[in-house]
Amino acid sequence: MSSTKNVKHQFPKIKELAPLLKFKGPRFNRKKARLADALTIWDLRTIAKRRTPKGPFDYTDGSAESETSLERARQAYRDIEFIPNILRDVSNVDLTRESLGSNFSMPFGIAPTGFTRMMHTEGEIAGARAAQKYGIPFSLSTLGTTTIEDVVAAAPNGVNWFQLYMWKDRDASMALVDRAKKAGVKNLLLTVDVPASGYRMRDYRNGLTVPPQLTPRTILDALPRPAWWMNFLTTPAISFASLPNWPGTVGELLDYMFDPTMTFDDLSWIREQWDGTLTIKGIQNLEDAKKAAKYGVDAIILSNHGGRQLDRAPIPLHLLADIKKEFKKDFEIHIDTGIMHGADILAAVALGAQFAYVGRAYLYGLMAGGQLGVERSLEILQSQMIRNMKLLGVQKLDELSPKHVRLLNRNN
């Protein structure tokens, strides 16, 4: 039996309760309220799934075959153990980073993603403008749904990069490169891990096409999502900006368009025609990194294409330290795949990455709320990096080193 001898009870006093009664006023802007309640990228994913039809959401969320590559990449970041220093002055934290001749406010950019207007009608424009606002680069995909000229016009003060898939039609590929150059693009990201399309089972099961086909199934799926539905009906048709629309699935398009005969020798040919910085996206082992160095590339991106190509591909984070040891100043080492938290970016920087990219993390924000949603995703990642740098006891990114991280070994 509890005793009341140590406590004197009294009737509640209104004057004492009044300061405790703090009720939020009504929030009439539902989008802003919804986004403000999202505290993590995973929260944005939950909102995105609720507001986006299954086909576009699964295209973003899924990866190849068993989806093991993506899950392992994310698990690698979860397996990071941070080793902080205490009693350091961290009143001011600096996230700025120089990469490929430009200074950015944070050590990551927006990765190139295809069919982006399918996720939300604001598409690439929302991503480019959010990137401009936050001082980071935006990368437009060859499979984008907005032209490079329109992206640059929408974010004229931003840093806009262009990602190239080499098509079987080489002249058409280089015509895109020429357009990017004329639009003011300074960095070309050449993706090299698509000799064939990965088997993205969600897309095949959903029958995903660009633009989405209006079948009874897709209509029923879209009806509970009126905002996406109305945007789809009342804005210009979703289409590829750099190639014709395709009646089949996305995987079938990749197999039809992209060149499986491309080799390292083609890098010399591309290097001759492109006088800006050249980044090779899709390096997955040390041997290929060494070969890329011989062709004068400015940066490599350790990437398994977000797990969307080879199932059970190497984990980029696990490659990073060894490749960094081999190459000191040959080129910049960048990384993508699996990043869902600002601390993931810090871990990559500590292990030697000069720069990182987020794809799904920004697309979840886009689907959740257009440009405001993208901005919310960048705000979340920024706040997570600031907080974790303070907790690690570092003021600047250059202070991060392998001594701050340890990879847990789950085999022991």
Residue 343 makes CB contacts below 8 A (sequence gap 6+) with 77, 80, 82, 384, 385, 388
What's the domain count of the chain?
A: 1
Instruction: Give pLDDT, residue 376.
Output: 98
CB atoms within 10 A of CB 265: 8
Tell me the angle at which helices 41-51 and 54-61 cross, rounded to the nearest 10 degrees: 150
What pTM value is reported for the model? 0.91
15 lies in some domain: no
**C-alpha distances in Å from residue 172, one per residue of 166, 168, 176, 269, 288:** 9, 9, 7, 15, 27
Q: 3-state DSSP call for residue 393?
A: coil
Q: How far apart, in whole angstroms, are the C-alpha atoms of residue 281 and residue 136?
A: 18
Q: What is the residue range of 266's domain? A: 30-407
Q: Residue 121 is encoded by which pair of tokens?
A: 């009608």
Instruction: Give pLDDT, residue 412.
Output: 47
| Active centre residues (catalytic) | 305
Q: How far apart, in whole angstroms, are the C-alpha atoms of residue 238 and residue 240?
A: 7
Instruction: Give pLDDT, residue 338.
Output: 97
220 lies in some domain: yes
65 lies in some domain: yes
Low-confidence stretches of the chain (pLDDT beneath 70): 1-4, 23, 25, 210-215, 218-219, 243-251, 410-412
131 lies in some domain: yes
8 lies in some domain: no
317-338 per-position pLDDT tens digit: 999 999 999 887 778 999 999 9
- Adjacent-strand bridge partners of 396: 94
Q: How far apart, in whole angstroms, are the C-alpha atoms of residue 36 and residue 16?
A: 31
Residue 150: is it exposed, middle or buried by C-beta count within 10 angstroms (0-12/13-18/19+)?
middle
Residue 339 makes CB contacts below 8 A (sequence gap 6+) with 77, 108, 345, 348, 356, 357, 358, 361
Instruction: Give pLDDT, residue 250.
Output: 66
89 lies in some domain: yes
CATH number for the domain spanning 51: value is 3.20.20.70
3 lies in some domain: no
221 lies in some domain: yes
95-113 per-position pLDDT tens digit: 999 999 999 999 999 999 9
Q: How far apart, in whole angstroms, are the C-alpha atoms of residue 337 and residue 125?
A: 23
Ramachandran category for residue 160: left, alpha or beta (phi over 0 → left; psi -120 to 50 → alpha): beta
Helices assigned H by DSSP within 359-403: 360-392
Ramachandran category for residue 146: left, alpha or beta (phi over 0 → left; psi -120 to 50 → alpha): beta
Instruction: Give pLDDT, residue 225.
Output: 83
